[in-house]
Chain A
Amino acid sequence: MITGKALPRRTFLRGLGTAIALPVLDAMAPAFASQLPGKAPVRMGFVYVPNGMDIRNWNLDYEGKLGKLSRIMQPLEPFKDDITVFGNLTHNNGRALLDGAGDHGRCCGSYLTGVQPKKSFTDIHCGISCDQIVANAIGNQTRFPSLELGMEDARQAGDCDSGYSCAYTNNLAWRSETQPLPPTLDPRVLFERLFGADAGLNPEQKARRNKFRRSILDFVSDDTRKLESNLGPTDKRKLEEYLSSIREIERQLERAEKDNAQINPGMEKPYGVPADFAEHFKLMTDMLTVAMQADLSRVFTFLVTREGTSRSYREIGIADGHHPLTHHQNKPELMEKVSQINTYHVKQFAGWVEKLKSIKEGNSSLLDNSMIVYGAGLTDGNRHNHEDLPTLIAGRGGNYFKPGRRIVVRKETPMSNLFLTMMDRMGVHAEHFGDATGRLNGINLS
């Protein structure tokens, strides 16, 4: 029977201290309405990797349709019709501009703000980042105006690079000129932020819930059953897949916590953070996927590791620190390791792209309805330069971008021009942003 009554878009499965948002379901469309999935929101995100790249192995030597990808981009080969690679974008405000050393602090601070950060580790001053400009404008349409994720270091004080505060190297998002938004590093914290409501429970309730809890889904099982009885077979399958993905995240968290319990106590580890880089990346992006799918937020930043990081990558046999390696002085053996780290990062990103592509939203996919910048604020970690920054966008931004191409813009074209264009796509038409000289022409379908 067709009632003509649609399921509200902001329907939640509720239980004790729990509210789980739902993905877009066909049942949310008014009766006879067509193309509901075409109405899927556009998501904008930024995934930042530090210390530049081994640019020899990143850059392509051609423009136009993507053919053979470079070595570092190779993991994205199956998805090259879904990515747009850019050339020549520049962040002038990452350059010294009389402020001397500190490219790592500057490049991260200026990346999404487009302004030159003030060189200080006590009196921080940057600019509002483009993600926050969008979050301020449209954030009221989702539960979280924006999400800030990271994987390494959220220190907000101290000198992290030649007089630049750690606030510059450890944050991408800036709510105001003086207020960075620290990323959430701990998957458990992110999970509870997204799906739980523990803040409303007293310690006894929390302890009781933890003791008896097998899954957060148990708390919403009644709501789930009621909802399922009103769904068609397609929606039922979607809901099942969605709840399964939440359960899988829970399992990953449990594994991570169990693994951490076995780690040598001499080494401090945040509770719930997987020791393995790839596992941590997957866990964070899995949760982000669910958040995007459920329209909990349309704007996110993901600082994969902090600028200037000396993290080693024993997972791929590299015991040296990332940052020291990038100062390779053109020694082939060190450059090779930088390339391996860069490729390893892209491999994790490609895994996430695959997942986003697999999630259907009507006739398109979650990836199609997203535009996710993957890039670095330094071009070459050895030279510390800021022109021709390694940059690509995954997704079509809701049928806006025409991917599968490499677009080379003119030299010195500000990165802010790209971000201003993306802000337009999010429906936020700023007059100026950062050091933009205009919009980036030629990247959309029109």
Chain B
Amino acid sequence: MQFPGQGKPPAGIIFDSAMGSRIDDALAMALLYGLDGKNEARVISVSVSKSNLHSAAFSEVIGRFYAGAVSGAFGAFGRNLPVGMADNGKLTEDSPMLLVPLSKKNAEGQPAYQHGIHTLVDTAEVPALLRNAFTSQVDQNCMVIVTGPATNLAQVLDLPGVKDWITRKVRYLAIVAGNFAGGGPELNVKSDIAAAKKLFAEWPTQIIVTGSEVGQAIRFPAENIEVDFAFAKDHPVADAYRAYQQMPYDAETTAMAAVLSAIRPNEKYFKMSESGTVTITPEGKTNFSASAGGKHQYLIVDPAKKEQVVKAYRELASAKPVVRAPRFRQQKKEEPAKPVTEAKPVAEPKP
């Protein structure tokens, strides 16, 4: 919700992931809420492209962890931010990074993490959710970040009039897709080739692509999970991290790179390719052709910035939830009223 007359709010972020398939989706969401807590972004929509209730539920768990506390979206004015879920998602499988935190109990034997997603109707219909999120943003003040298959975004493109909304509201789309270092088909693209093709062909704004080589080159240090996230006895992202693979391991960070570069473009954490066009081969490989008028660019790791990037990942992903009042602009303090003094007699005008 916007408040007229209060200036432009931080950019609204529509975050769509395949939560549960790769641990960096959870890290990326934590990073996103870290930026939200610093008032650099506002999470306005959360959805999953996996047709799996646990995927949606865990996304809500992370939102509630920061909940209300960090984002005006969760719990603002008593309204929970609904989590959208693909009903035609190609990825469906459960994973330990979902099941372990969701089944974790506290000392009282109650679920350590609360969520309200138990059946399909507890999730939101994705095309409406995303379209509605666009409609409530200041022009060119919204960014879409997709860290999973393009399933949901391709679906929303079919809604009448939605491309006009996207053109008007969305600055750019940041997407995790493909590999631009000669690698084979990447999971997100391979999972839903038709959706990726459609998205790259029809999405009306600039697209910044993060290939899997970026996340492979910069890893999230495992030791930080035990140190930086220890402020909370139960931290859903830390629990998911531990459950994803045998500890210790340094996770890939492709999704984190997409979030960080999208919200802090001026920091130039990564180099950018020249402009061009991404196309998808029938096997799901990404090809890039440079062209002056192309709307697509991809991120390139800058070896000189690696340390800086890891530092940002650590600090932002492990940021504590921030208790914050709704985003009302601070009222200017009024000058204290001067005591009323007796009116001076007005001098008689001289004739």
Are A383 and B79 touching (Cβ within 8 A)? yes
CB distance from B185 to the nearest CB of A (A): 31
| Contact among B4, B122, B127, B159 for A411, CB-based, below 8 A | B122
A445 close to B (CB within 8 Å):
no
Residues of B within 8 A of A411 (CB): 82, 121-125, 129
Are B131 and A413 touching (Cβ within 8 A)? no
Which of A95, A99, A387, A412 is packed against the most chain B CB atoms within 10 Å? A412
CB distance from A232 to the nearest CB of B (A): 51
Residues of B within 8 A of A387 (CB): 79, 82
A90 close to B (CB within 8 Å):
yes
Residues 141-167 of chain B, each 1 if its beta carbon lies under 8 Å from chain A, else 0: 000000000000000000110000000
Tell me the residues in window 396-413 of chain A with beta carbons closer than 8 Å to chain B beta carbons: 408-413
CB distance from B84 to the nearest CB of A (A): 7
B328 close to A (CB within 8 Å):
no
B245 close to A (CB within 8 Å):
no
B128 close to A (CB within 8 Å):
yes
A435 to B124, CA, bound (A): 15
Tell me the residues in window 86-128 of chain A with beta carbons closer than 8 Å to chain B beta carbons: 87-88, 90, 92-93, 95-100, 116
Are A437 and B131 touching (Cβ within 8 A)? yes
Are B4 and A98 touching (Cβ within 8 A)? yes
CB distance from B126 to the nearest CB of A (A): 9
B88 close to A (CB within 8 Å):
no
Are B78 and A410 touching (Cβ within 8 A)? no
A387 to B132, CA, bound (A): 12
B287 close to A (CB within 8 Å):
no
Residues 408-422 of chain A, each 1 if its beta carbon lies under 8 Å from chain B, else 0: 111111100000000
A87 to B127, CA, bound (A): 18
Are B79 and A409 touching (Cβ within 8 A)? no
A385 to B76, CA, bound (A): 12
Residues of A within 8 A of B84 (CB): 412
Are A90 and B128 touching (Cβ within 8 A)? yes
Are A385 and B122 touching (Cβ within 8 A)? no
A63 close to B (CB within 8 Å):
yes
Tell me the residues in window 116-139 of chain B with beta carbons closer than 8 Å to chain A beta carbons: 120-125, 127-129, 131-132, 135-138
Residues of A within 8 A of B121 (CB): 63, 87-88, 408-411
Which of B2, B78, B122, B132 is packed against the most chain A CB atoms within 10 Å? B132
- Residue ID in chain A nearest B137 by CB atoms: A98
Are B1 and A96 touching (Cβ within 8 A)? yes
A98 to B2, CA, bound (A): 6
Residues of A within 8 A of B79 (CB): 383, 385, 387
Are A92 and B160 touching (Cβ within 8 A)? no
CB distance from B16 to the nearest CB of A (A): 14
A415 to B228, CA, bound (A): 45
A410 to B122, CA, bound (A): 7
- Residue ID in chain B nearest A92 by CB atoms: B132
Residues of A within 8 A of B2 (CB): 96, 98
A435 to B131, CA, bound (A): 9
A116 to B120, CA, bound (A): 28
Tell me the residues in window 84-123 of chain B with beta carbons closer than 8 Å to chain A beta carbons: 84, 120-123
Are A412 and B135 touching (Cβ within 8 A)? no
A213 close to B (CB within 8 Å):
no
| Contact among A87, A90, A95, A432 for B160, CB-based, below 8 A | A432
CB distance from A388 to the nearest CB of B (A): 10
A410 to B124, CA, bound (A): 5
- Residue ID in chain A nearest B121 by CB atoms: A408
A385 to B129, CA, bound (A): 15
- Residue ID in chain B nearest A382 by CB atoms: B78
Given known contacts A92-B135, A383-B77, A100 and B124 CB-to-CB distance under 8 angstroms: no
A411 to B82, CA, bound (A): 7
Given known contacts A96-B1, A100-B4, A437-B131, A412 and B77 CB-to-CB distance under 8 angstroms: no
Residues of B within 8 A of A97 (CB): 135-136
Residues 318-335 of chain B, each 1 if its beta carbon lies under 8 Å from chain A, else 0: 000000000000000000
CB distance from B169 to the nearest CB of A (A): 10
- Residue ID in chain A nearest B81 by CB atoms: A411
Are B124 and A98 touching (Cβ within 8 A)? no
Are B138 and A98 touching (Cβ within 8 A)? yes
Are A413 and B77 touching (Cβ within 8 A)? no
A435 to B2, CA, bound (A): 21
CB distance from A95 to the nearest CB of B (A): 7
CB distance from A121 to the nearest CB of B (A): 17
A87 to B121, CA, bound (A): 9
CB distance from A91 to the nearest CB of B (A): 10
Are B128 and A437 touching (Cβ within 8 A)? yes
- Residue ID in chain A nearest B159 by CB atoms: A437
A410 to B129, CA, bound (A): 10
- Residue ID in chain A nearest B139 by CB atoms: A98
Residues of B within 8 A of A414 (CB): 128
Are A412 and B138 touching (Cβ within 8 A)? no
- Give A residues with C-beta under 8 Å from B: 63, 87-88, 90, 92-93, 95-100, 116, 383, 385, 387, 408-414, 432, 435, 437
Lowest 4 CB-CB distances: which A-B pairs, in order?
A: A411-B124, A411-B82, A92-B132, A412-B124
* Besides A383-B78, A412-B128, 6 new A-B residue pairs in contact (Cβ under 8 A), listed by A number: A63-B121, A93-B135, A98-B136, A385-B77, A413-B125, A437-B125
What are 25 inter-chain pairs, A to B, with CB distance below 8 A? A63-B121, A88-B121, A90-B128, A92-B131, A92-B132, A92-B135, A95-B1, A95-B132, A96-B1, A96-B2, A383-B77, A383-B78, A387-B79, A408-B121, A410-B125, A412-B82, A412-B129, A413-B128, A414-B128, A432-B160, A435-B128, A435-B131, A437-B128, A437-B131, A437-B159
